[in-house]
Amino acid sequence: MEAKQQKARHRRRKVGLSIGIPVAVAAAAGMAYGTDLGVFGEDAQRSASAATVAPAWADDVADGFASVNSQGQNGTYGGRDGKTVTVKTLADLEKYATAPEPYVIVVAGTINMNPKGKEIKVASDKTIVGSGTSGQIVGGGFFLGQGVHNVIIRNLTIRDSYAGEWNDKDNDFDAIQMDGAHHVWIDHNDLRHMADGLIDSRKDTTNVTVSWNKLSDNNKTFGIGWTENTTADLTIHHNWFRETEQRNPSTDNVAHAHLYNNYLQDVPNTDITTSYGNYARGKTKMVLENSVFEGLKNPVTKDSTAAVVQRGNVFSGTSGRNESGGTAFDPKSFYKYTLDKAADVPALLKSGAGPRTSIGTTATASTKASAAATTLTVAKDGSGQYKSVQAAVNAVPANNTSRVVISIKPGTYRELVKVPRDKPHVTFQGTGASRKDTVIVFNNAAGTPKPDGSGNYGTSGSATVAVEADDFQARNLTIDNDFDEAKNQSLNGHQAVALRTAADKIFLDGVIVTGDQDTLLLDTQAKDKLGRVYVSNSYIVGNVDFIFGRASAVINKSVITLKKRWNGDSAGYVTAPSTAANRKGILIANSTVNGDVSASSFHLGRPWHAGGDAALDPQTTVRNTSLSSAIKSAPWTDMSGFSWKDDRFAEYKNTGPGSGSASGDRPQLSDAQAADQEIGDWLGDWKPSAS
């Protein structure tokens, strides 16, 4: 932005539970980051006899203990390095799941296990993922044996191996059983009504993360242990246990059991009564945080030999044992995580646990929005309704009240796109296997003359894509400004925006936004208007002030890639907030800042007092983020006569060679201050969910 323009007790249930509730993106899982922009997991070869496009989020990697480097395995990423195949039959599912090669296996229909209770023996390096809510395994499940590792099971419904006996001693028909496995991620599944466990993690199985699942209508729900050793590490977060009698979970001899943001619900006057909730047995050490227990008997139970540390949990209508005591461990010494507020957990999980509803997205529409959505298809080759993105936007009715999804087929769309204020609820959805397959690009700069002779575009007018309508979403595509500074040195004004937003509730998920100077302008409709932006699982590329504006913006679980300038120099600024005094500015959290630039050459930010307005109070907070050596040891700097020390710039628990300890040149938030600078504090009553 240099020379910125103006700038149980059980009786057989009669009615089954509802399924397929979509994801709340507030806790969307992490993505597979490369060390530079050119490294994307989804660019792995995707061809086989049954090959098809995998979900854009099929390359996500696990969080929690499944992300920890141990047992000779660095994190859990499943089959992302192999081919993607779609299966609709038991024979094909078993063929690829048991193969020695890595595979992403998309289950695109209901597969009935034969014989009933069959558990497919999954081999290492596999992702088994449902195609929307159509991926269902009925009457059986999966088995991960000794040494099996790097397995992801996501977005599936696994149900109905129940054999008529509630406390079944004869049939071991689990949904997912693990005996001696490691590095397993079980995420966004609907597991219910099985003859034995929904999840059994046994015989020293370790480095497991279980997240965003719906577990219901079952007796022995989630058992962990069956070992005398105390070596296992498990993370269990954002799961909805509803009408499950026991093992919720039962955690026996687990070295590190981290349970957070789970919702355990026993609904009154139903056929199942929960006998206990979270149980720490044997020598287990358990940390239990910000979970909600509703209507349960004995919500938290521990053996005398176990340790349970409770923090921030909510108990409503519970009775019986609620225990804690002993010394456990600090989960943050193993991995990063962010807690949701306990009060928000029931709503988050009711709207977010279980399978996502559509394939090819990093997250999916709510049931209501999806049912009401209109889809307009764009394809350069004429196979869609429109050949340009702008033509599809023009077709959206003014003042529309329901979601319009503009489905954009792979291709490069060289055009300017504007979503005007009177066209809210629009989604841009790239349909390629990679977010790099669908590209919207143009090359205007601030100094580029307008074709009508009315002057230059200016910084904000240079945007390739301009969004002025509320409730806009974009995913699985690239927005680029490829203005060539080297060839246009005589031009006065090299600011070249790829994406400008000037509205509220903007959700960018799984996108690339790339340019040089002033890549991403996050603005509001007016100085007194609120404009919230949530960016997740994305890449942002640039060099000078390339994340800037007055919006209240969150960049979460993303990669910020620093780029050399047109002449090869390494020098720049990541953020340039222009925040009003009573607003939140820019929050970068749980992300990575890197790039092929020189060490100590980039500032994290500087204060942009747009128009010289001294009343502004620019804010950037960078927290829980990995910083490369490119970041200066004094990461903030002044701008246009305004000192950064008079505004709001701070860090919290960043890591990497570019991080540093607190000093006068490097403010660090205290734990108490950081508690007031969480993602939820930026977004307020808005809970982003994909549509």
What integer pLDDT is reported at residue 132 of this predicted model? 81
R_g (Cα) of the chain, nearest Å = 25
Cβ neighbour number for residue 689 with a 10 Å cutoff? 21
Alpha carbon distances (Å) from 290 to 266, 380, 440: 18, 49, 41
Catalytic residue among 60, 63, 179, 518: 518
Our answer to whether residue 504 is catalytic in this structure is no
What integer pLDDT is reported at residue 164 of this predicted model? 84
Strand ranges inside 231-347, DSSP E = 232-237, 240-246, 250-252, 254-260, 263-265, 278-281, 285-289, 292-294, 300-302, 307-311, 314-316
Alpha carbon distances (Å) from 89 to 86, 94, 104, 160, 355: 10, 9, 16, 18, 20
Closest CA to 12 of 113, 163, 158, 176: 163
What span, in angstroms and rounded, lies between the C-alpha atoms of 584 and 647? 12
Question: Which phi and psi (to 5°) does residue 544 adopt?
Answer: -120, 120
Count Cα atoms within 13 angstroms, Cβ side, for 34. Answer: 14
| Rounded to 5°, angle at Cα 100 from 95 and 103 | 70
CB within 8 A of 177, min separation 6: which ones? 119, 141, 142, 143, 144, 197, 199, 200, 202
What span, in angstroms and rounded, lies between the C-alpha atoms of 56 and 63? 18
Alpha carbon distances (Å) from 392 to 503, 507, 562: 20, 19, 33
What integer pLDDT is reported at residue 356 of this predicted model? 76
Token digits of residue 387:
């050949």
Question: Which phi and psi (to 5°) does residue 591 adopt?
Answer: -125, -175
Token digits of residue 207:
């480095």
Matching residue, tokens 């034995």? 196
Walking along the chain (691 residues) 10 residues at a time, the average pLDDT comes out as 39 26 29 30 34 56 94 93 92 98 94 96 96 91 98 96 84 94 97 94 98 95 96 98 96 98 93 95 98 97 98 97 96 94 92 69 32 78 93 92 93 98 96 94 97 94 98 97 96 97 97 98 94 96 98 97 96 97 96 97 98 97 97 98 98 97 97 94 90 68
Q: CA quadruple 198, 26, 686, 653: dihedral positive or negative? A: positive
Q: Give exposure, 555-590, as e/b (b: 16+ Cβ within 10 Å).
A: bbbbbbbbbbbbeeebebbbbbbbbbeebbbbbbbb
Closest CA to 656 of 560, 542, 586: 560
Q: What is the largest CA-CA distance in the chain?
A: 83
* Inter-residue contact 278 to 264 (CB < 8 Å): yes
H or E element that contains 594: strand 592-594
What span, in angstroms and rounded, lies between the C-alpha atoms of 14 and 287? 37
Matching residue, tokens 């620019």? 618
Could you report how far apart the first and last alpha carbons of the chain are, in Å?
Answer: 33
What span, in angstroms and rounded, lies between the C-alpha atoms of 590 and 587? 10
Cβ neighbour number for residue 596 with a 10 Å cutoff? 15
Strand ranges inside 88-205, DSSP E = 103-107, 110-112, 119-121, 126-130, 136-138, 141-144, 149-154, 157-159, 176-179, 182-187, 190-192, 199-202
H or E element that contains 392: helix 389-395
Token digits of residue 334:
């193993």
What span, in angstroms and rounded, lies between the C-alpha atoms of 143 and 156? 15
Our answer to whether residue 646 is catalytic in this structure is no
Token digits of residue 9:
């007790």
Catalytic residue among 63, 545, 617, 647: 545
Q: Say which amino acid occupies 3.
A: A
What span, in angstroms and rounded, lies between the C-alpha atoms of 306 and 286? 8
* Inter-residue contact 650 to 667 (CB < 8 Å): yes
* Inter-residue contact 197 to 173 (CB < 8 Å): no
What span, in angstroms and rounded, lies between the C-alpha atoms of 604 and 644? 11
Residue 676 CB burial class (10 angstroms; 0-12, 13-18, ≥19) = exposed
636 forms bridges with which residues in the sheet?
Answer: 605
Which DSSP letter does residue 317 get?
A: S
